[in-house]
Amino acid sequence: MKKSFFTFVTFLLVVACSTVPITGRKQLTLIPKSQILPLSFDNYQQVLNESQLSDNQEQTAMIKNVGAKIQQAVEKYMAENNMSDLIDGYKWEFNLIKNDTLVNAWCMPGGKVAFYTGIMPICQDEAGVAVVMGHEVAHAVARHGGERMSQGLVQQLGGVALSVALQDKPEETQQLFNTAYAVGTTYGAMLPYSRLHESEADKLGLIFMAMAGYDPHEAPEFWERMKANSGGGAPPEWMSTHPSHETRIENLNDYIPKAMKYYNKSSEGNKKTRSIKVRKSN
């Protein structure tokens, strides 16, 4: 029995692997977009139905404005690297939920983003929002949740197809989705992904925010504020699914030079665009 299960898992690893953008890591992906996106859209709408959207017009506009820029950056990066198929079917949406106790934000598959008002004082401005937005969108683009849900299908439901799992074991499947995407989580400031996933999202997010025109140096500054906000209450790194604040800040600073290439290119493009608009107006 153990041998046959090992053979089955090995087979899955061979035939159901995809590659994470930028990092190139191979990951297990059993769930096609045609199945995960409708499930994601339904769950996102359910969260909105059960929540109260913020009535702060300035902050709401900031979330939507930064979201639109990050969306454009992602679509541009994917197009330039022949990966547009990874975001086919995305229906981007950016909302700010009124909850001052939740220092949190997340992105479901298909570009469904939610921020909670509790994280806005730490973001402070558009650049801070871009740090969080880029990171959360990166989780979705890298299909980290789908990877975890695939692992859950193998471990808990024997690797059955999602459509079969939804029909035969809907409650267990919904629980897998909730766990994979941490719907409604109150854990820390971000979703409780593994340290590997968090590091990948930091790298991708830094690229996306840079392409959107936000200085990557804002990322470690945001995490410095997160560190101060935690009041020293974060668990030791070896006990946590997240990198420690110190490790994350160090890794971000190491990766900034690469991200700056995208930022400088974005800045040059914006200057040219502004120059063309000025010439036309004259």
- 210 belongs to a structural domain: yes
Cα separation, 197 vs 201, whole angstroms: 6
In a domain, 11, yes or no: no
Residue 263, helix vs strand vs coil: helix
CA–CA separation, 149 and 154 (whole Å): 9
Look at the chain and report how many structural domains it folds into: 1
Residue 12 CB partners (closer than 8 Å, separation 6+): 28, 30, 154, 159
Bridge partners of residue 108, in order along the sequence: 112
Q: Are 96 and 123 in contact, with CB atoms under 8 Å apart?
A: no
Query: Is 6 part of a structural domain of the chain?
Result: no
In a domain, 281, yes or no: no
Residue 9 lies in a domain: no
Structure tokens belonging to residue 79: 């197009």
Q: What is the pLDDT along the chain (282 residues), one digit of tens a residue?
A: 444 333 334 334 433 456 666 666 676 666 677 777 888 898 899 999 999 999 999 999 999 999 999 999 999 999 999 999 889 999 999 999 999 999 999 998 899 999 999 999 999 999 999 999 999 999 999 887 766 766 655 555 444 444 444 454 455 555 555 555 555 443 333 344 577 788 889 999 999 999 999 999 999 999 999 988 877 555 554 445 566 788 889 999 999 999 999 999 876 645 443 333 333 444
Residue 180: domain span: 16-275
Query: How far apart, in whole angstroms, are the C-alpha atoms of residue 252 and residue 154?
Result: 33
Radius of gyration of the chain (CA): 19
**Per-position DSSP letters for 36-50, written without gaps between them:** HHHHHHHHHHHHHHT
Which residues are known catalytic residues?
A: 136
User: Within 10 Å of residue 65's Cβ, how many Cβ atoms?
Assistant: 14
Report the amino acid identity of residue 100. Answer: D
Max CA-CA distance within the chain? Answer: 77
59 and 120 in contact (C-beta within 8 Å)? yes
Which residues have CB under 8 Å from 34's CB, separation 6+? Answer: 89
Asked whether residue 8 is domain-assigned, the answer is no
Tokens, residue 164: 């079969």
Residue 162: inside a domain: yes
Residue 59 maps to a domain:
yes
DSSP string across 171-211: HHHHHHHHHHHTTT--SSSS----HHHHHHHHHHHHHHHHH
HSE (side-chain half, CA atoms, 13 Å) at 56: 19
